[in-house]
Amino acid sequence: MIVRFLRVAFLVSFGTSSVLAGDQTGPFLAEPYLQLGHSAGVGKLDLLWLSTDADLAWKVEYRPGRHKGWRSTPGPRFRTVRVEGMPPHRVYEVTLRDLPPGSNFSYRVSLGDRLVFESEARAPKSAGQPHRFVAFGDCGDGSPNQKAIAHRAFQAHPDLVLIPGDIVYDRGRATEYRDRFWPIFNADAPSPDAGAPLMRSTLFVAAPGNHDIGARDLGKYPDGLSYFYYWSQPINGPEGREGGPMTSPLVGPESNRLAFREAAGPAFPRMANFSFDFGDVHWTVLDSNPSVNWNDPELRRWVAQDLAIAKGAPWRFVTFHHPGFHSSRSHGEEEQMRTLAPVFEAGKVSLVFSGHVHNYQRSYPLSFLPDAASTRSDFKKDRRVAGRWTLDRTFDGRTDTTPEGVIYLVTGAGGRHLYNPEQQDDTASWKEFTVKHVSKVFSMTVVDVDGQAVRVQQVGAEGQVIDQFVISR
Ligand SMILES: [Fe+2]
């Protein structure tokens, strides 16, 4: 309610301003949202927002603990997005520091002395603190299903929301974020018909999917690839260079490529892969688009080293968009991420979260040995990966909670139309490694983590639990 009041106050006071004339939503093109920032760290979050390309007297204050006074951040830094097809606008960013891990804190944004936004939020959890996160992919299409899942996620009170790719349809364009992302995941009030005030209060992390960064043609979509300027995630992955094994070249007129590069800054191309710690989990986030060659020895070494450095963390989870192990007929041939299975096994990964396939699937704990032809380091266009899997069929997540191998989850039922509902009850159509396949309802994954155990529930849009299991160390 308070935000609504502030908006009204803002319009009364600033509605005639030449800078903001015609703007119906106050000073923001997207209201403030929380991110890890390019360098994640304990007690730290970045706050971002979008506004017009005009010099305004922004001020951000926050109270990093219940009994502390208000503290001002240094003036916001910003990057200007000047891409064809939309007015120039700015992505503002400030860093909030010294947040006690896991604490609730308040922040407020002012223009001059006038308050224009305020919210409560939760600081990231650190090692030793139990936490809950929610994961769902393939979400940002503006549909009623997306709104219902956003609202359901809000009701779960997560410490973290994870999107394993296909953040915004159809092409991850800046213009598409306006209708299909910000208003729903950062709505002013929670409602199953509208969405929820999630992004202002809860850290969001995303892996880029094919709809986000697969299309490289900036001639066709000058405002495409906006993942690289609207998200602020760690820049600690492999460096990558255009045309190399990690990054296919940008396409389109030079002026469009230049405009994109200026908007993205250091985030392109490196921010497509990164890692971070949250609570007792070390997360590795990867770009699974088929243009990336995960058979490249250097890229594989980066994943292996990232997991090895994190070996002291109680849990190691990985997320990327294209699942290596799933049973749907749709996208059945896209097995390219299977080649990393041995790296995950060596790195003692427990869970892998993907999307791309718009339903929910769980594998048996498994290990996988790809055959030699599938792991040649030169780029392989065929996305099939043959090999042999070994399944732990004794793990049931109730009486036996110690999996032998990696459990692969598909949680791609976050809003976009569902895939292959006819396969839910047709167990004969499932691959041997699939133990659960729910493709008739929209759903999200709710995970409660502590240092000893992880409890996973798959929750439908109506709140029904459609799968659950526990893993223990
Ligand atoms: Fe996808």
- Who has greater pLDDT, 219 or 66? 219
Distance 207 CA to ligand 1 centre (A): 11
CA distance 384 to 114: 58
The confidence band for 2, taking pLDDT boundaries of 50, 70 and 90, is: very low
pTM for the full predicted model: 0.94
Provide the CATH number for the domain around residue 79: 2.60.40
Answer yes or no: is 277 within a domain.
Answer: yes
Answer yes or no: is 42 within a domain.
Answer: no
Average pLDDT of the segment spanning 41-59: 97
Distance 347 CA to ligand 1 centre (A): 26
- Is the distance from CB of 62 to CB of 97 less than 8 angstroms? no
DSSP H helices, 136-247, are 144-155, 174-180, 182-185, 210-213, 227-230
Answer yes or no: is 38 within a domain.
Answer: no
75 and 211 belong to one structural domain:
no
% of the chain at pLDDT higher than 70: 94
Distance 14 CA to ligand 1 centre (A): 41
Distance 205 CA to ligand 1 centre (A): 17
Answer yes or no: is 227 within a domain.
Answer: yes
Answer yes or no: is 41 within a domain.
Answer: no
- Who has greater pLDDT, 13 or 199? 199
Listed in order, strand segments (DSSP E) in 419-452 are 434-438, 443-449
Distance 7 CA to ligand 1 centre (A): 36
Average pLDDT of the segment spanning 25-47: 94
CA distance 193 to 251: 38
Q: What is the pLDDT of residue 378?
A: 78
Answer whether residue 136 shows pLDDT above 70: yes
Mean pLDDT of the chain: 93
10 and 115 belong to one structural domain:
yes
401 and 464 belong to one structural domain:
yes
Provide the CATH number for the domain around residue 460: 3.60.21.10
CA distance 342 to 198: 36
325 and 204 belong to one structural domain:
yes
Average pLDDT of the segment spanning 22-48: 88
Answer yes or no: is 397 within a domain.
Answer: yes
Q: What is the pLDDT of residue 376?
A: 85
Distance 460 CA to ligand 1 centre (A): 20
Q: What is the pLDDT of residue 4?
A: 39
Last residue of a domain, one of 122, 156, 179: 122
CA distance 191 to 197: 9
Q: What is the pLDDT of residue 27?
A: 95
Average pLDDT of the segment spanning 281-288: 98
Distance 323 CA to ligand 1 centre (A): 10
Last residue of a domain, one of 67, 101, 122: 122
Distance 448 CA to ligand 1 centre (A): 26
284 and 174 belong to one structural domain:
yes
Distance 248 CA to ligand 1 centre (A): 17
* Number of compact structural domains in the chain: 2
Distance 167 CA to ligand 1 centre (A): 9
Distance 171 CA to ligand 1 centre (A): 11
Q: What is the pLDDT of residue 356?
A: 98
Q: What is the pLDDT of residue 1?
A: 35
205 and 332 belong to one structural domain:
yes
Residue 47's alpha-carbon distances to 134, 264, 354, in angstroms, are: 20, 17, 26
Average pLDDT of the segment spanning 210-236: 97
65 and 159 belong to one structural domain:
no
Average pLDDT of the segment spanning 106-134: 97
Answer yes or no: is 11 within a domain.
Answer: yes
215 and 103 belong to one structural domain:
no
Q: What is the pLDDT of residue 16?
A: 23
Answer whether residue 26 shows pLDDT above 60: yes
Distance 260 CA to ligand 1 centre (A): 22
Distance 274 CA to ligand 1 centre (A): 19
Distance 155 CA to ligand 1 centre (A): 26
Q: What is the pLDDT of residue 25?
A: 53
Which long-range contacts link 88-91 to residues 24+ away (Cβ below 8 Å)?
Answer: 88/52, 88/53, 89/29, 89/50, 89/51, 89/52, 89/53, 90/50, 90/51, 90/52, 90/53, 91/48, 91/49, 91/50, 91/229, 91/230, 91/263
Answer yes or no: is 176 within a domain.
Answer: yes
Average pLDDT of the segment spanning 369-384: 85
Average pLDDT of the segment spanning 331-348: 96
Q: What is the pLDDT of residue 147?
A: 98
Distance 210 CA to ligand 1 centre (A): 5
107 and 161 belong to one structural domain:
no
Distance 170 CA to ligand 1 centre (A): 10
Q: What is the pLDDT of residue 8?
A: 33
Distance 112 CA to ligand 1 centre (A): 43
The confidence band for 9, taking pLDDT boundaries of 50, 70 and 90, is: very low
- Taking only the tens place, the pLDDT of each residue in 418-469 is 999 999 999 999 999 999 999 999 999 999 999 999 999 999 999 999 999 9
The confidence band for 379, taking pLDDT boundaries of 50, 70 and 90, is: low
- Taking only the tens place, the pLDDT of each residue in 57-79 is 999 999 988 778 999 999 999 99
Answer whether residue 384 shows pLDDT above 70: yes
Answer whether residue 3 shows pLDDT above 60: no
Answer whether residue 272 shows pLDDT above 80: yes
Structural domain containing residue 98: 2-33+48-122
Distance 214 CA to ligand 1 centre (A): 9
- Who has greater pLDDT, 6 or 335? 335
Distance 154 CA to ligand 1 centre (A): 24
Answer whether residue 10 shows pLDDT above 80: no
307 and 408 belong to one structural domain:
yes
Last residue of a domain, one of 122, 147, 169: 122
111 and 205 belong to one structural domain:
no
Q: Output the CA torsion sign for 145, 150, 154, 158.
A: positive
162 and 68 belong to one structural domain:
no
Answer whether residue 15 shows pLDDT above 70: no
